[in-house]
Structure 1
Amino acid sequence: MHETLTAHAPQLLARHGVGPDTAAALLIAAGDSPQRLHHEGSFAALCGVSPVEASSGKTQRHRLNRGGDRQANCALHRCSLDCAGTRAAGTTSPAASLRGRPAARPSAASNATSPARSTSS
């Protein structure tokens, strides 16, 4: 299977987080007629990750599409988890760099001057 995928979609396998199983699921979802996929939104709808309006009355909101190819949806989920894990490990985002730090503790000096801790009346 890996040789077939390398022959037909080497650029897909070259992406970080995309292995042979994931690439196969995405290519199967695209099917034999990629002409029906005019833009990214149509592929998102095909995989079940496009937003669908779920408004009621004056409330405007969206939810994810529950339809689509579940195998392709799972493959996209695996890609996103792998990319998010790599980003956190490389600490490219400010939030990821904060995750590894220990929590700040108040110093002894601040405890001594705190009105709640004072013993004098």
Structure 2
Amino acid sequence: EIIDADVIAGRIRYLGFSTQPLNIMRQPGTVIVLPSYHEGMNRSLMEACALGKPIITTDIPGCREIVEEGKNGFVIPTKNSEALAAAMMKYLELDGTQKIQMGHESRRVAIERYDIRYVIMEYEKIIGMSELLQ
């Protein structure tokens, strides 16, 4: 009922369920919000970085490593709806240039940390070290 009222009032645009999330994530002005309790390294956050999207997520392993606080998004405590609302408001209050810069920072994170060539190099280092230990 609250969401319906906010949609009618024009405060939010509720997109509903989608089987094509990339179509939504690619839209300009989209920020990815993942208030997870337990996630591990989350693919949707890595995809958000690859698409150059700002992120708001919780301070749990796998999520906190993707976000550089204040640079490409915000990290909030788990199970804290007030902190989530505050982070969302903080993002909304940024000017357009700051929002674009956050998106660029997310893209930089994707390239520097999650590019497949980098991941393969890291695996090769681990495999090489394990061979030395045998």
Q: TM-score range by the shorter chain?
A: under 0.3
TM normalised by structure 1 equals: 0.25
Higher helix content, 1 or 2 = 1
Larger Rg: 1
Q: What's the TM-score once normalised by structure 2's chain length? A: 0.23
